[in-house]
């Protein structure tokens, strides 16, 4: 665009001001993208799960267990192809500052239920063979510096005492439904040590057809409704979704802060544009004299605002996307899969346009409306 | 038909509560190819007359015609492109945009045309050549002397080949030597390139360069001098 | 010679819009800063108030929260008969063995998949005395032997069927709400209380989760801890109640604080940039005046100070605006899950005078940083150039 050079020259008049304003916009949009991504990450975690897997928990509450005896009964329900179970261990490793999930599973059936847990065959066999072995997510090796074959000791909280496992496998998730930082050990090892009859924290079932989910769930829950451990069955997605909501109204908090951020930066860029305009009434008059129309001057001022805001947006939004991707950020385990979505980028672009309009509108209208003769008299 | 026809023009300004009448019943013709100097005491309306011709201002009543077009009746939307095509304007100071080089300043009127980059480049070099500053293309205004700045302003005023060149006190801020350069240039523009020039000035020496001198006093045309060789109406 | 502040004040008023924008920008940063720390503060305070220095919480050894703990009846009686436990006016031990479970309830207004895990605490009658900041607001205490519950002040408005006289259903039984209680703004207000003997069969069998008691001698905590933990009949950890709950607040409290600092630092950089722009423009447009001041004999140091003060003043106005904005959120109740105990906790934003002062200081610091280089430039203005 031939007018771009004129606009850039104008912005170059106060390089520092242009730089600082663009940087502010970049920072604001970086922050905006980050805040929104917290919300989208939590929301998308609620989407994880296979349509063919159901989760059965104790209806009384998630902290209550189910009898292991249910396994056979569940297998017998029409539509159920496979059953596995797990217990939340919830121990503390080291100083406990870095949280990660520790779960006791029935090795054979659990790995069959979750093909998303991918690990080399020999490691899998070792896990199936050794009673006190464990498999860990790839990320834990980076976080704690663990190695294959190493012993790790965890302090039990729900199940007291020190628990030592040997790392016999490192898994990589092939789908975000599985976190990359879990420690899975064997259920029979748990049972042996606690010496109590078989209990399951929850069951995971695979059904033959996703459409049958509601029917199967109802059948199961009806069956156990009047027992001492009534069940609540739902899709894996619903189960995951309920965790995300436990944070509370995160989207409101992030949204409000996001608005404050955008507004604050709007003030900065509008101020810069105003300062630019104030110094240039004479030149606007000269341009009008040459024959630049009011409309064209409106456009030039808008373009000036636009160059700063769009450049800032590209840097800020792009920076956020690249940074989080490159560092594989997951907020110390709390926000797995933290990635700036395309939708967030689009909304960010919209915000940049808003900033352009908000900061450029008044100076642009003023420039368009500038009465040449009066302005010239000031020039002379 | 004269190039510029001013007929029965009244112009009044409202400043606070005061009403100032600048022109009453002004009628005037300016011929094509002429070089006219507009002189008179300050407040006589010289600059206002220039603004009327350029379409920067409208008469309270009466008509202003330039090259057959009734400028006084055009809308703002029509005037901008008209001005781009027909008028070249030079002020006393602050003509040039300090952030642009001489080349880029001269280019400004051409940005409003459909000329290609190459075509623009040709015309800019020619214009800067005419004013004798082809070696200062890439200089910023702060790197030029006052006289050189005015010459660049003149180059910009002629680069789009306008119908009229209007100048408001072009030598007002310049020393004797630079004034001489600028005035000589204007003379050449009129003689060699047949540019119609209207120049508002205080400077008697400047007036000498013109072929016709008009004296305005309190908005009334008082005297009309023809200098040998100039065209009159 | 000091340049009069009046000069700065007048000059600032000369460009009202620019000044207002800069102040408002700083104000927003301060508002977010204070609001977020008020959020963290409110959460921490709710938990800090929960425990008393004079009380002790006993859990099974190794358990990091009441949830994962389990104490049998015999352990409970051993603890209750310990000499470290204070006795009430009726001669009974001020000890309360308690059942602690979480039940899923849907918050009013959320869709049905949004669950909150609410704490249900089975208490003994002495609990009302052990915890002396608890008061019944409406209704009467639950009677022994009945399926009656008392709902905490923060739970009642946010969940359905929790009004006095209403029936709430969980764990396969209907429970009548007979009262609401307050607990000094502590985490207990996010709980539902009932009789421990009523809850035991319904929930976890013959096991309590904790025993809370009042120290006979408040100064003798260490003694009590040592003795009880060494007791061969028990495998317990003894915590001072206050420290325990403070510990529970660390995780989320820290997350909120880190979030606060992260967000406001980025915003602050933007606001400082804005201030820099404003002050540079101010210096530029006032160059002739500055030159005059320097010519008159004012020391460049005074010019530097003058502009720094101006920048700080604008920022201070922003600080006031920010504080006023943040105050709007004071007392607003919000809730989240305390991941340390996996339970729902409701608390209010708490804007303290300390936070307001911190916000003000923050604002002034932003102003000083933003104004520094422009002020420096003003002080080093080449006089001749400026006067031309």
Q: Which chains would you list as touching B if contact means 3+ CB atom pairs under 8 Å? A: A
pLDDT at residue A377, rounded to an integer: 67
% of chain C surpassing 70 pLDDT: 97
How many structural domains is chain B composed of? Answer: 1
E strand or H helix at A108, and its extent?
helix A107-113
Does residue B232 register a pLDDT over 50?
no
Chain C residues with beta carbon closer than 8 angstroms to that of A27: 266-267, 269-270
CA gap C104, C117 in Å, rounded = 5
pLDDT at residue C388, rounded to an integer: 55
Using only C-alpha atoms, what is the Rg of chain B?
A: 17
pLDDT at residue B15, rounded to an integer: 75
pLDDT at residue C15, rounded to an integer: 84
Smallest Cα distance from A18 to chain B, Å:
14
**Residue B88 forms beta bridges with which residues?**
B165
Q: Tell me the per-residue pLDDT of B51-105, one tens digit each, with 9 for 90 and over.
A: 899 888 889 999 999 998 999 999 888 888 898 889 999 988 888 888 899 999 9
- Which of A278-287, A307-316, B7-16, B220-229 ranks highest by mean pLDDT? A307-316
Chain A interface test: which of C15, C29, C68, C253 (most A C-beta within 10 Å): C68
Phi, psi dihedral angles at A135 (to 5 degrees): -115, 140
Chain A residues with beta carbon closer than 8 angstroms to that of B111: 2-3, 6
Instruction: Give the model's confidence band at A352: pLDDT under 50 very low, under 70 low, under 90 confident, else very high.
Output: very high
Phi, psi dihedral angles at C20 (to 5 degrees): -60, -45
Could you tell me if residue B164 is inside a domain?
Answer: yes
Question: Please, which contacts does B66-69 make with residues 24 or more away whose CB atoms are closer than 8 Å?
Answer: B66/B3, B66/B4, B66/B5, B66/B163, B66/B164, B67/B3, B67/B163, B68/B1
Chain B residues with beta carbon closer than 8 angstroms to that of A292: 80, 84, 108, 112
Chain B interface test: which of A291, A303, A372, A380 (most B C-beta within 10 Å): A291
Q: State the helix-helix crossing angle for C300-327 and C287-296, rounded to 10 degrees.
A: 130
Smallest Cα distance from B141 to chain A, Å:
13
Residues 170-229 in B contacting A (C-alpha not used; CB under 8 Å): none
DSSP conformation class of C345 = E
Q: What is the mean pLDDT of residues B110-139?
A: 92
Cβ atoms of residues A198 and A67 within 8 Å: yes
Q: Tell me the per-residue pLDDT of C216-243, one tens digit each, with 9 for 90 and over.
A: 988 889 999 999 999 888 899 999 999 9
Residue B109 forms contact with A (CB below 8 Å):
yes
Q: What is the mean pLDDT of residues A333-344?
A: 85
Residues 34-63 in A contacting B (C-alpha not used; CB under 8 Å): none
Lowest mean pLDDT among A60-64, C192-196, C362-366: A60-64
Q: Tell me the per-residue pLDDT of B132-161, one tens digit each, with 9 for 90 and over.
A: 999 989 999 999 998 999 999 999 999 999
Half-sphere exposure of B222 (CA within 13 A, CB side): 12
Which residues, in sequence order, are CB contacts of A312 under 8 Å at separation 6+? A21, A22, A23, A24, A25, A26, A28, A29, A352
B91/A286 Cβ within 8 A: yes
Does residue B206 register a pLDDT over 90?
no
CA gap C199, C142 in Å, rounded = 13
Antiparallel, parallel or unpaired: β A133-137 and A182-186: antiparallel
CA gap A318, A312 in Å, rounded = 10
Domain harbouring B97, CATH code: 3.40.50.300
In sequence order, what E strands does chain A have? Answer: 53-58, 66-67, 80-88, 101-105, 117-118, 133-137, 151-156, 161-173, 182-186, 199-200, 202-207, 231-235
Could you tell me if residue B51 is inside a domain?
Answer: yes
E strand or H helix at A346, and its extent?
helix A342-369
Chain A residues with beta carbon closer than 8 angstroms to that of C22: 267, 271
Burial degree of C184 (CB within 10 A; 0-12, 13-18, 19+): middle
pTM of the model: 0.85
Does residue A297 register a pLDDT over 60?
yes
Cβ atoms of residues B63 and B9 within 8 Å: yes
CA gap B197, B64 in Å, rounded = 17
Could you tell me if residue B38 is inside a domain?
Answer: yes
Residue A56, SS3 per DSSP: strand
Instruction: Give the model's confidence band at C22: pLDDT under 50 very low, under 70 low, under 90 confident, else very high.
Output: very high
Instruction: Give the model's confidence band at C204: pLDDT under 50 very low, under 70 low, under 90 confident, else very high.
Output: low
Lowest mean pLDDT among A41-50, C159-168, C247-256: A41-50
Are C and A neighbours with ≥3 CB pairs closer than 8 A? Answer: yes
Chain C residues with beta carbon closer than 8 angstroms to that of A156: 62
- Report the C-alpha dihedral over residues A311, A315, A318, A324, rounded to 10 degrees: -160
Q: Which chains would you list as touching A if contact means 3+ CB atom pairs under 8 Å? A: B, C
* Owning domain of residue B116: 4-226
Instruction: Give the model's confidence band at A254: pLDDT under 50 very low, under 70 low, under 90 confident, else very high.
Output: confident
Q: What is the mean pLDDT of residues C311-327?
A: 95
Nearest to A291 among B77, B100, B112 (CB): B112
CA gap B31, B232 in Å, rounded = 7
Residue C68 forms contact with A (CB below 8 Å):
yes
pLDDT at residue A147, rounded to an integer: 93
DSSP conformation class of A77 = S
pLDDT at residue C387, rounded to an integer: 61
% of chain C surpassing 90 pLDDT: 52
Nearest to B77 among A5, A293, A373 (CB): A293
Could you tell me if residue B233 is inside a domain?
Answer: no
Residue A378 forms contact with B (CB below 8 Å):
no
Q: What is the mean pLDDT of residues C366-374?
A: 94
Which residue do the tokens 């915590």 mark? C239
Q: What is the mean pLDDT of residues C154-182?
A: 91
pLDDT at residue B18, rounded to an integer: 83
Chain C residues with beta carbon closer than 8 angstroms to that of A163: none
Half-sphere exposure of B224 (CA within 13 A, CB side): 11
Q: State the helix-helix crossing angle for B146-158 and B176-191, rounded to 10 degrees.
A: 20
C104/A246 Cβ within 8 A: no
Cβ atoms of residues C190 and C154 within 8 Å: yes
Instruction: Give the model's confidence band at B118: pLDDT under 50 very low, under 70 low, under 90 confident, else very high.
Output: very high
Which residues, in sequence order, are CB contacts of C385 under 8 Å at separation 6+? none
Cβ atoms of residues B64 and B53 within 8 Å: yes
Could you tell me if residue B231 is inside a domain?
Answer: no
Which residues, in sequence order, are CB contacts of C297 under 8 Å at separation 6+? C1
ipTM of the complex: 0.84
Does residue A127 register a pLDDT over 90?
yes
Chain C residues with beta carbon closer than 8 angstroms to that of A267: 21-22, 24-25, 28, 274
Q: What is the mean pLDDT of residues C28-38?
A: 94
Chain C residues with beta carbon closer than 8 angstroms to that of A247: 336-337
Nearest residue in chain C measured CA to CA from A279: C285
Could you tell me if residue B232 is inside a domain?
Answer: no
Instruction: Give the model's confidence band at A380: pLDDT under 50 very low, under 70 low, under 90 confident, else very high.
Output: very low
Q: Tell me the per-residue pLDDT of A37-82, one tens digit each, with 9 for 90 and over.
A: 998 888 887 778 888 999 999 988 888 889 999 999 999 999 999 9
A292/B112 Cβ within 8 A: yes
Give, rounded to a whole angstrom, the gap between the first and last alpha carbons of chain B: 10
E strand or H helix at B6, and its extent?
strand B4-15
Does residue A126 register a pLDDT over 80?
yes
Cα Dmax for chain A? 98
In sequence order, what E strands does A59-214 have? Answer: 66-67, 80-88, 101-105, 117-118, 133-137, 151-156, 161-173, 182-186, 199-200, 202-207
Residue A292 forms contact with B (CB below 8 Å):
yes
Chain A residues with beta carbon closer than 8 angstroms to that of C104: 61-62, 242
Cβ atoms of residues A52 and A336 within 8 Å: no
pLDDT at residue C111, rounded to an integer: 64
Smallest Cα distance from B117 to chain A, Å:
9
A373/B56 Cβ within 8 A: yes
pLDDT at residue C90, rounded to an integer: 84
Mean pLDDT across chain B: 87
């Amino acid at each position: 665009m031939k007018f771009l050079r004129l606009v850039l020259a104008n912005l170059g008049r106060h390089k520092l001001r242009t730089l600082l304003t663009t940087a502010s916009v970049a920072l604001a949009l970086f922050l905006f993208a980050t805040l929104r991504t917290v919300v989208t990450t939590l929301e998308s975690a609620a989407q994880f799960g296979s349509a063919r897997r159901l989760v059965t928990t104790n209806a009384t509450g998630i902290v209550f267990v189910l009898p292991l005896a249910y396994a056979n009964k569940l297998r017998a329900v029409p539509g159920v192809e496979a059953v596995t179970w797990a217990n939340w261990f919830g121990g503390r490793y080291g100083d406990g500052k870095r949280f990660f999930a520790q779960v006791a599973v029935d090795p054979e059936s659990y790995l069959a239920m979750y093909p998303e847990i991918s690990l080399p065959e020999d490691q899998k066999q070792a896990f199936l063979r050794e009673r006190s072995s464990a498999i860990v997510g790839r990320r834990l090796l980076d976080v704690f510096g663990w190695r294959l074959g190493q012993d790790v000791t965890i302090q039990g909280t729900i199940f007291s005492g020190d628990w030592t496992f040997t790392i016999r496998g490192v898994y990589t998730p092939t789908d975000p439904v599985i976190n990359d930082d879990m420690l899975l050990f064997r259920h029979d090892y748990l049972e042996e040590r606690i010496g109590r009859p078989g209990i399951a924290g929850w069951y995971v079932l695979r059904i033959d057809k996703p459409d049958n989910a509601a029917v199967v769930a109802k059948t199961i829950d009806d069956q156990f409704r009047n027992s001492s451990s009534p069940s609540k069955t739902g899709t894996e997605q619903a189960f995951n979704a309920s965790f995300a909501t436990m944070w509370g109204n995160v989207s409101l908090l992030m949204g409000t802060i996001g608005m404050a951020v955008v507004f604050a930066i709007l003030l900065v860029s509008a101020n810069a544009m105003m300062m630019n305009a104030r110094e240039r009434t004479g030149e606007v008059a000269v341009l009008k004299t040459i024959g630049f129309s009011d409309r064209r001057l409106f456009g030039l001022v808008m373009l000036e605002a636009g160059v700063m805001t769009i450049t800032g947006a590209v840097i800020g939004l792009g920076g956020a996307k690249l940074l989080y991707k490159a560092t594989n950020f997951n907020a110390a385990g709390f926000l797995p899969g933290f990635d700036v979505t395309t939708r967030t980028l689009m909304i960010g672009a919209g915000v940049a346009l808003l900033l352009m309009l908000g900061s450029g509108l008044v100076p642009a209208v003023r420039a368009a409306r500038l009465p040449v003769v009066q302005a010239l008299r000031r020039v002379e | 038909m004269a190039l510029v026809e001013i007929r029965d023009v009244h112009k009044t300004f409202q400043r606070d509560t005061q009403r100032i009448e600048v022109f009453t019943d002004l009628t005037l013709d300016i011929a094509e190819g002429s070089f006219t100097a507009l002189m008179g005491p300050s407040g006589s309306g010289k600059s206002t007359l220039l603004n009327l011709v350029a379409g920067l201002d409208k008469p309270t009543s009466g008509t202003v015609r330039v090259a057959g077009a009734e400028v006084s009746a055009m809308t703002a939307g029509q005037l901008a492109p008209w001005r781009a095509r027909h008028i070249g304007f030079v002020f006393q100071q602050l003509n040039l945009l300090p952030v642009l080089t001489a080349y880029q300043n001269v280019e400004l009127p051409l940005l409003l045309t459909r000329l290609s980059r190459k075509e623009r480049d040709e015309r800019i070099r020619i214009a800067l050549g005419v004013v004798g500053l082809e070696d200062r293309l890439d200089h910023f205004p702060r790197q030029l002397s006052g006289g050189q700045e005015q010459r660049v302003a003149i180059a910009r005023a002629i680069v789009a080949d306008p119908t009229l060149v209007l100048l408001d006190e072009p030598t007002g801020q310049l020393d004797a030597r630079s004034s001489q350069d600028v005035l000589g240039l204007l003379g050449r523009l009129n003689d060699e390139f047949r540019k119609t020039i209207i120049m508002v000035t205080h400077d008697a020496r400047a007036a000498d360069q013109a072929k016709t001198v008009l004296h305005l006093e309190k908005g009334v045309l008082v005297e009309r001098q023809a200098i040998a060789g100039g065209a009159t109406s | 010679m000091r340049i009069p502040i009046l000069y700065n004040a007048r000059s600032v008023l000369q460009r009202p819009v620019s000044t207002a924008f800069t102040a408002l920008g700083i104000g927003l940063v301060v508002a977010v800063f204070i609001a977020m720390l008020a959020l963290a503060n409110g959460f921490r305070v709710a938990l800090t108030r929960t425990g008393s220095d004079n009380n002790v919480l006993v859990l099974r050894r190794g358990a990091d929260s009441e949830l994962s703990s389990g104490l049998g009846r015999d352990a409970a009686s051993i603890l209750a008969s310990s000499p470290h436990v204070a006795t009430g006016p009726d001669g009974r031990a001020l000890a309360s063995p308690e059942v602690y479970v979480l039940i899923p309830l849907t918050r009013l207004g959320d869709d049905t998949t949004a669950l909150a895990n609410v704490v249900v605490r089975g208490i003994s009658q002495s609990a009302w005395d052990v915890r002396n900041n608890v008061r019944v607001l409406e209704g009467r205490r639950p009677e022994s032997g009945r399926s009656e519950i008392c709902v905490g002040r923060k739970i009642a408005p946010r969940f359905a069927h929790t009004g006095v006289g209403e029936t709430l259903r969980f764990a396969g039984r209907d429970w009548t709400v007979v009262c609401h209680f307050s607990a000094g703004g502590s985490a207990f207000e996010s709980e539902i209380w009932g009789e421990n003997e009523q809850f035991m069969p319904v929930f976890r069998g013959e096991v309590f989760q904790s025993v809370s008691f009042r120290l006979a001698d408040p100064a003798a905590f260490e003694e009590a801890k040592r003795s009880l933990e060494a007791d061969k009949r028990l495998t317990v950890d003894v915590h001072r109640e206050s420290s325990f709950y403070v510990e529970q607040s660390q995780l989320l409290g820290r997350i909120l604080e880190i979030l606060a600092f992260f967000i406001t630092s980025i915003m602050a950089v933007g606001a400082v940039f804005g201030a820099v722009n404003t002050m540079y423009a101010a210096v530029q447009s006032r160059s002739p005046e500055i030159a005059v001041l320097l010519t008159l004999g004012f020391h460049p140091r005074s010019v530097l100070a003058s502009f720094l003060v101006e920048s700080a003043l604008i920022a201070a106005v922003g600080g006031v605006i920010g504080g006023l904005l943040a105050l709007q959120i004071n007392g607003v109740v919000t809730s989240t899950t305390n991941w340390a105990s996996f339970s729902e906790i409701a608390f209010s934003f708490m804007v303290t005078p300390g936070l307001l002062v911190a916000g003000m200081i923050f604002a002034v610091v932003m102003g000083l940083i933003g104004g520094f280089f422009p002020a420096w430039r003003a002080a080093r203005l080449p006089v001749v150039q400026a006067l031309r």
